Amino acid sequence: MPALTLGQAEKATGKQKSTILDAIRAGRLSAGRDDKNQWQIEPCELFRVYPAQQAIEREATPTQQQETAAQLTQMLERERTQLLAQIEDLKTDRDHWRNQATMLLTHQPEQKPEPEQPKSRLWQKLFGRT
């Protein structure tokens, strides 16, 4: 890959020319000059010091950025709606189980009288009771 000029390095990294030039002068980034006295920076050396900027970020137009923001907003709104529905579901379940527990803790079984045993007919004939 051919050496990059200061302007090309700026576009590749998203850093300002002055920042890159300061790094060259401080010795953090090695670079040379060509016959036109322009800085020539090897890409491997540049990316060692400053990571490459993503192509999407470099080339995004304001319209693309607005579309991306709108898509992100729609996605977040869908997720918010789903989370609110899930919270409502959990509240319903919680209330149901709370009612179940309350019913079990406060329920006192009724004391039912023992059913009378039907008397045999023989018993009724002997003692004449109906």
Please give the Cα distance from 38 to 24 (Å, whole number).
Answer: 13
Distance in angstroms (rounded) separating the CA atoms of residues 47 and 28:
12
Per residue in 61-104, pLDDT (tens digit) is 777 777 888 888 998 999 999 999 999 999 999 999 999 998 88
Would you give the distance in Å from CA 119 to the centre of its chain? Answer: 74
115/90 Cα distance (integer angstroms): 45
Q: Report if residue 101 sits inside a domain.
A: no
Kindly report whether the global pTM for this prediction surpasses the value 0.85. no
Beta bridge partners of 41: 4
Residues 14 and 48 in one domain: yes
Q: Is the pLDDT of residue 56 over 50?
A: no
Domain assignment present for 32: yes
- Domain membership of residue 108 (yes or no) is no
pLDDT of amino acid 24: 93
Range of the domain at 36: 6-53
* Sequence-separated (6 or more) residues with CB below 8 Å from residue 5: 38, 39, 40, 41
| For residue 109, pLDDT beyond 70 | no
29 in a structural domain: yes
From CA 100, how far away is CA 40, in angstroms rounded? 77
Structure confidence at residue 61 (pLDDT) = 73
∠ CA 103-106-112, rounded to 5°: 100
Please measure the distance between the N-terminal and C-terminal CA atoms of the chain and give it in whole angstroms: 117
106 part of a folded domain: no
Residue that the structure tokens 């579901």 belong to:
89
Summarize pLDDT for 25-38 with one digit per residue, the tens: 999 999 999 999 99
